[in-house]
Amino acid sequence: MSTGLLSVDLDALVSNWRALDAMTQGETCAVVKADGYGLGAAKVGRALARAGVRRFFVAVAEEGAELRQALGPNVEICVFSGHMRGDTDMIGDMMLTPMCNTIGQLTRHLEALPEHPFGIQLDTGMNRLGLEIDEWASVAEIALSQNCRLVISHLACADAPDHPMNRQQLEQFHLMTDGISVPRSLAATGGILLGPEYHFDLTRPGVGLYGGMPFADARPVAHLDLPVVQIRDVAEGETVGYGNVWTAQRPSKIATVAAGYADGLQRVLSDRATLWHAGQPVPLVGRVSMDLITADVTDLPDLPGSLSVLGADQTVDALADQAGTIGYEILTSLGPRYARRYSGG
Ligand SMILES: *Cc1c(COP(=O)(O)O)cnc(C)c1O
């Protein structure tokens, strides 16, 4: 095999969901947008539904339609981007629950699908999606007298527990929703970790399920192993790869490994990432190219057949730090070329 192997540990995924679920009193949903954070929404969704998840969130209606086909009729699928123009048939046929973000979306929904369930997204300060306080005041009575299933808002700074924005948004959410009888939701992964005040009736974790920060106790879900195509001896003073950016300082053994920036190992990782072999770090040397990277295996006791990028030795956030990004982006950048294997669940 010449492509990398992406192994997805569905037992770890379910165990992360259970751990987050155990921290709250209310319902714990699951966010599976962007193809389940790159790990496969259908497989991830089925494993979580078997574990007891009854409500899923996706970004757009198309993702919701695919998820419905994978999961069948017995779960609720909520769409963060709401009821967009042109989506009415899909929302109706696929039994999706749009989170209405504007008065226009709410009107479109109530006119086109009057009995059909929907939710409301409120803006409590992030200024990305949702109704502002005065808009909500003007439509709350109508919305809440219809088939409104939940009212949500989203925290901008939940990964920074001491950020004053968290409490500010919490207070705004109370101001906008206290007294309503529809279930309320404010917390994603970060919000769950902020504590019970932030939990309300249901929580919406995403990244923590997939082993990412800010859920520091998460088990790794994605394991990425790359086959070594070739190992060569490089003399002191010779260079490796495009641009000659790495020069051997000693006689070296260089492994050429089958993955590159087309597979989500960003070029910014050139000459700075770490790969692993049986618990030992192996420095990536030279430029990352489209399909290949090169690593210095001189210090390994034997010649490796493969090197690991993600898994027990390196979390998605450890790799993200090396690339100057976040675990979310590492996961959702994993390319389509890997062989994918699912275990457990
Ligand atoms: C992505 C998203 C989530 C999940 O966030 P995580 O940080 O991955 O847990 C929850 N709610 C909304 C509105 C989102 O956009």
Domain residue spans of the chain? 10-209, 222-343
Cα of 214 from ligand 1 centre, angstroms: 12
Q: Yes or no: say if 190 and 170 are a contact pair by the CB < 8 Å rule.
A: no
**Chain centroid, CA 34 distance in Å:** 7
CA proximity to 109, closest of 122, 125, 90: 90
Choose one of 13, 154, 193 to mutate for the ligand 1 pocket test, by most ligand atoms within 8 angstroms of C-beta: 154
- Ligand 1: atom nearest CA of 121 is 13
Q: Could you tell me how many residues make up the chain?
A: 345
Ligand 1 centroid to Cα of residue 188, in Å, is 5
**Atom nearest to 204 CA in ligand 1:** 10
Tell me the average pLDDT of the chain: 98
pLDDT, tens only, 125-140: 999 999 999 999 999 9
227's enclosing H/E stretch is strand 222-234
Cβ 254 under 6 angstroms from ligand 1: no
CATH 2.40.37.10 matches 222-343? yes
Cβ within 8 Å of residue 24, ≥6 positions away: 187, 192, 196, 199, 203
Q: How far is residue 81 from each of residues 70, 88, 131, 308, measured CA to CA in Å?
A: 21, 13, 12, 36
Report the chain's C-alpha Rg in angstroms.
23
In DSSP notation, 224-264 reads: EEEEEEEEEEE-TT-EESGGG-EE-SSSEEEEEES--GGGT
Distance of CA 139 to the CA centre of its chain: 32
Closest CA to 185 of 122, 132, 110, 102: 122
**According to CATH, what is the number of the domain 10-209?**
3.20.20.10
Question: What is the reported pLDDT for 254?
Answer: 98
Q: Are 224 and 236 in contact (CB under 8 A)?
A: no
Residue 124, Cα to own-chain centre: how many angstroms? 22
Residue 345: predicted pLDDT: 83
Residue 33 appears among annotated catalytic residues:
yes
Contact 186 CB / ligand 1 (< 6 Å): no
* 128 assigned ligand-binding residue: yes
Look-up: residue for tokens 């006689």? Answer: 251
Query: How sure is the predictor about 282, in pLDDT bands with cuts at 50, 70 and 90?
Result: very high
pLDDT in tens, 77-123: 999 999 999 999 999 999 999 999 999 999 999 999 999 999 999 99
Fold matches, 10-209 and 222-343: no
**What angle is formed at CA 250 by the lines to CA 244 and CA 253, rounded to 5 degrees?**
75
Mutate which of 80, 99, 159, 198 for ligand 1 pocket (most atoms within 8 A of beta carbon): 80
Q: Cα separation of 150 and 131, whole Å?
A: 14
Q: Is 43 a catalytic residue?
A: no
Quick check: 1 pLDDT over 70? no
Q: Which atom of ligand 1 lies at the shortest distance from residue 159's CA?
A: 7
| pTM over the 0.95 mark | yes
* Binding site membership of 30 for ligand 1 (Cβ less than 6 Å): no
Cα–Cα distances in angstroms (integers) from residue 67 to residues 116, 140, 282, in the given order: 19, 30, 39
Alpha carbon of 280 to ligand 1 centroid (Å): 34
Mean pLDDT on 301-320: 97
The two structure tokens encoding residue 181: 């009888």
87 CA to middle of ligand 1, Å? Answer: 22
Query: In the chain, what are the helix, strand and coil shares in percent, each to the nearest 5?
Result: 35, 25, 40
CA distance 75 to 321: 36
Give the pLDDT band of residue 151 (cuts 50, 70, 90). very high
Q: Is the CB of 130 under 6 A from ligand 1?
A: no
33: its two tokens: 């947008």
